[in-house]
């Protein structure tokens, strides 16, 4: 039973770290490529933009020299992006709670039968929130020319690990619980 709960802790921790990194960095969407030119006085300026929840970074190249500038996003986000960010943050907080409950069930309260269920439900709810957040963000930019960035894929992997962790925690409770003899 210890090994299974440890597996739940490892998958939950991986999910938590991936979602923290994914939400923090501005690489959810990459817009632009080397062929896309910015209207300018110069004929050889290329442009790219990386978008995230909290900031965006513009990368320009002029005569072979790269220039990068990141700016905070203040209030000019769409409602869909705000909803996506909220769902990702709720999922991240629920995943943190699930990891804490999992550690507690392993170290302190090994015989408590309720903690794995609580941790599993927290983890499944976190995975569901992250899944909704990823879907909302992907839906927001469906008609633009872009590529998904590494943060978007980190969120998908974090969602998968959260759902796996929740299932393992619930299974560790149900598999190893002996039925009461009547």
- Cα 56 to its chain centre, rounded Å, is 17
Cβ density class 101-129: b for 16+ within 10 Å, e for less: bbeebbeeeeeeeebbbbbbbbbbbbbbb
Distances in whole angstroms, Cα of residue 148 to Cα of each of 9, 17, 137, 138, 144: 29, 20, 10, 8, 11
The pLDDT, as a whole number, for residue 177 is 57
Q: Which residues of the chain have pLDDT under 70?
A: 33-47, 109-110, 142-145, 175-182
| pTM of the predicted model as reported, rounded to 2 decimal places | 0.81
Domain 2-25+77-175 part of CATH 3.40.50.300: no
Residues 6+ apart with CB under 8 A from 100: none
Per domain, the residue ranges of the chain are 2-25+77-175
The pLDDT, as a whole number, for residue 157 is 96
Please, are residues 140 and 78 in contact by the beta-carbon 8 Å criterion?
yes
Sequence-distant contacts of 3-7: CB under 8 A, at least 24 apart: 4/168, 4/171, 4/172, 4/175, 4/176, 5/102, 5/105, 5/106, 5/116, 5/168, 5/169, 5/172, 6/106, 7/168
The pLDDT, as a whole number, for residue 44 is 52
- Return the closest-CA partner of residue 167 out of 2, 17, 19, 12: 12
- Return the closest-CA partner of residue 90 out of 129, 124, 135: 129
Question: Which residue is it, tokens 């929840």?
Answer: 53
Give 103-119 pLDDT, tens digit per residue. Answer: 988 888 667 778 889 99
The pLDDT, as a whole number, for residue 106 is 84
């Amino acid at each position: 039973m210890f090994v299974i709960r440890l597996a739940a802790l490892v998958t939950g921790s991986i999910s938590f770290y991936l979602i923290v990194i994914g939400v923090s960095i501005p690489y959810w969407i990459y817009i632009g490529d080397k062929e896309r030119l910015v209207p300018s006085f110069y004929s050889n300026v290329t442009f790219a933009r990386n978008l995230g929840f909290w900031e965006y970074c513009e990368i320009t190249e002029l005569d072979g020299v790269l220039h990068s500038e990141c700016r905070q996003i203040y209030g000019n986000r769409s409602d869909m992006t705000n909803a996506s960010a909220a769902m990702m943050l709720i999922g991240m907080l629920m995943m943190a709670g699930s990891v804490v409950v999992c550690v507690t069930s392993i170290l302190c309260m090994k015989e408590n039968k309720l903690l794995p269920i609580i941790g599993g439900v927290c983890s499944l709810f976190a995975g569901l929130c992250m899944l909704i957040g990823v879907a909302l963000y992907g839906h927001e930019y469906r008609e633009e020319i872009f590529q998904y960035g590494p943060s978007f894929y980190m969120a998908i992997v974090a969602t998968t690990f959260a759902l796996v962790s929740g299932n393992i925690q619930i299974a560790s409770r149900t598999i190893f619980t002996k039925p009461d003899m009547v």
